[in-house]
């Protein structure tokens, strides 16, 4: 399955990565990094339609600070 760009990690809040998204993802969508390593799953989409955000619940092996400013992808 091809990967599509989700967006860039904007900040970390309450144990979740907040991502400024390019296109609206479905809740529950798997999120990966540019090496196709699992990052987590989309748990919420919010914000204005013109500039939406998504929150990603990380897999236990991911350190959230390492995701800041990094592009993320969905499969």
**CB-CB contact of 65 with 12 (8 Å):** yes
Instruction: Kindly state whether residue 56 falls inside one of the protein's structural domains.
Output: no
CA distance 11 to 8: 9
pLDDT tens, position by position, for the chain (75 residues)?
A: 578 999 999 999 999 999 999 989 999 999 999 999 999 999 999 999 899 999 999 998 888 888 999 999 998
Instruction: Kindly state whether residue 69 falls inside one of the protein's structural domains.
Output: no
Domain count, the chain: 1
**Which domain does 2 fall in, by range?**
1-38
For residue 28, give every residue at least 6 positions away whose Cβ sits within 8 Å of its Cβ, in sequence order, or none: 41, 42
**CB-CB contact of 5 with 73 (8 Å):** yes
CA distance 16 to 39: 11
């Amino acid at each position: 399955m091809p990967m599509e760009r989700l967006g860039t990690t904007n900040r970390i809040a309450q144990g979740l990565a907040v991502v400024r998204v390019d296109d609206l993802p479905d809740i529950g969508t798997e999120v990966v990094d540019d090496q196709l390593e699992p990052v987590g799953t989309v748990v919420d989409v919010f914000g204005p339609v013109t500039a939406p955000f998504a929150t990603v619940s990380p897999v236990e092996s991911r350190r959230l600070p390492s995701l800041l400013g990094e592009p993320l992808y969905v499969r």
